Amino acid sequence: MSSRIKQVEIIELGEKRKEESSPWSSTVLLVKLVSSDGQVGFGEAPTTLMTLPVKESMQEVARIFTGRDYFNIEKNIFDFYRNSFYLARSMEATSALSAFEIASWDLIGKDLGTPIYKLIGGEFNSKIRAYANGWYSNCSTPDEFVEKAKAVIKKGFTALKFDPFGNNYDHISRQDAIKASRIVEALRLELGDDVDLLIEFHGRFSTRDAITAATELEPFDPLFFEEPVHPELEHTLPEIKRFISTPIALGERLLNKRDFYRVISQGVVDIIQPDLTNSLGILEAKKISSIADANGISVAFHNAFGPIQTAATLNVDCTLTNFLIQESFEEFWPGWKKDLVKSGYSLEDGHFKLSGRPGLGIDINEKILEDNTIEGMEPFDGKEPPWVVSGTYKDL
pLDDT at 19: 58
**C-alpha distance from residue 186 to each of 301, 320, 344 (Å):** 27, 34, 37
Task: Say whether both 182 and 75 belong to one domain.
Answer: no
Look at residues 88, 114, 140 and tell me which one is the last residue of a structural domain.
114
DSSP class of residue 270?
Answer: S
Task: Say whether both 277 and 364 belong to one domain.
Answer: yes
Look at residues 85, 114, 143 and tell me which one is the last residue of a structural domain.
114
As a whole number of angstroms, the distance between CA 103 and CA 43 comes to: 4
Which residues have CB under 8 Å from 65's CB, separation 6+? 5, 8, 33, 76, 80, 100, 104
Task: Classify residue 270: in a domain, yes or no.
Answer: yes
Q: What is the pTM of this model?
A: 0.96
How many CB atoms neighbour CB 98 within 10 A?
32
The number of residues in the chain equals 396
pLDDT at 161: 98
Query: How many domains in the chain?
Result: 2
As a whole number of angstroms, the distance between CA 322 and CA 31 comes to: 30
Task: Say whether both 90 and 186 belong to one domain.
Answer: no
Task: Classify residue 381: in a domain, yes or no.
Answer: no
- The DSSP-derived string for 112-161 is HTSBGGGGTT--S-SSEEEEE-S--TT--SHHHHHHHHHHHHHTT-SEEE
Look at residues 97, 114, 131 and tell me which one is the last residue of a structural domain.
114
Task: Say whether both 38 and 171 belong to one domain.
Answer: no
Residue of 377, 373, 309, 371 whose CA lies nearest to 11: 373
Task: Say whether both 147 and 246 belong to one domain.
Answer: yes
Task: Say whether both 81 and 124 belong to one domain.
Answer: no
Task: Say whether both 181 and 108 belong to one domain.
Answer: no
Does 230 participate in catalysis according to the annotation?
no
Task: Say whether both 300 and 355 belong to one domain.
Answer: yes
CATH of the domain at 132: 3.20.20.120
Backbone angles phi, psi at 34, to 5 degrees: -115, 125
**C-alpha distance from residue 3 to each of 68, 102, 196, 234, 313 (Å):** 8, 15, 45, 42, 24
Does 351 participate in catalysis according to the annotation?
no
Task: Classify residue 383: in a domain, yes or no.
Answer: no
Task: Classify residue 45: in a domain, yes or no.
Answer: yes
Task: Say whether both 271 and 352 belong to one domain.
Answer: yes
Find out whether 301 and 329 touch, Cβ atoms under 8 Å: no
Task: Classify residue 386: in a domain, yes or no.
Answer: no
Find out whether 9 and 347 touch, Cβ atoms under 8 Å: no
Find out whether 164 and 145 touch, Cβ atoms under 8 Å: yes
- The DSSP-derived string for 171-205 is B--HHHHHHHHHHHHHHHHHH-TTSEEEEE-TT-B
What type of residue is 173? S
Find out whether 344 and 311 touch, Cβ atoms under 8 Å: yes
Task: Give all strands (DSSP E) within the chain, no chain letters.
Answer: 5-14, 27-35, 40-45, 128-132, 159-162, 196-200, 224-226, 248-250, 271-272, 298-299, 326-328, 341-343, 345-348, 351-354, 363-364
Task: Say whether both 169 and 206 belong to one domain.
Answer: yes
Task: Say whether both 97 and 139 belong to one domain.
Answer: no
Residue of 180, 156, 182, 154 whose CA lies nearest to 167: 180
CATH of the domain at 23: 3.30.390.10
Task: Classify residue 309: in a domain, yes or no.
Answer: yes
Note down the domain range covering 15. 5-114
Task: Classify residue 387: in a domain, yes or no.
Answer: no
User: Of residues 171, 202, 230, 235, which has the active-site annotation?
Assistant: 202
Cα 393 to the chain's mean position, in Å? 21
pLDDT tens column, 324-353: 999 999 999 999 999 999 888 999 999 999
Task: Classify residue 388: in a domain, yes or no.
Answer: no
Burial of 253 (0-12, 13-18, 19+ CB in 10 A): middle
- Can you give the pLDDT of all 396 residues of the chain as single tens digits? 679 999 999 999 998 766 566 767 789 999 999 999 999 999 999 988 899 999 999 999 999 999 999 999 999 999 999 999 888 899 999 999 999 999 999 999 999 999 999 999 999 999 999 999 999 999 999 999 999 999 999 999 999 999 999 999 999 999 999 999 999 999 999 999 999 999 999 999 999 999 999 999 999 999 999 999 999 999 999 999 999 999 999 999 999 999 999 999 999 999 999 999 999 999 999 999 999 999 999 999 999 999 999 999 999 999 999 999 999 999 999 999 999 998 889 999 999 999 999 999 999 999 999 999 999 888 887 888 989 999 999 999
As a whole number of angstroms, the distance between CA 230 and CA 166 comes to: 16
Find out whether 303 and 329 touch, Cβ atoms under 8 Å: yes
**C-alpha distance from residue 232 to each of 202, 213, 236 (Å):** 13, 19, 9
Task: Say whether both 67 and 209 belong to one domain.
Answer: no
pLDDT tens column, 206-249: 999 999 999 999 999 999 999 999 999 999 999 999 999 999 99
User: Of residues 171, 230, 235, 302, which has the active-site annotation?
Assistant: 302
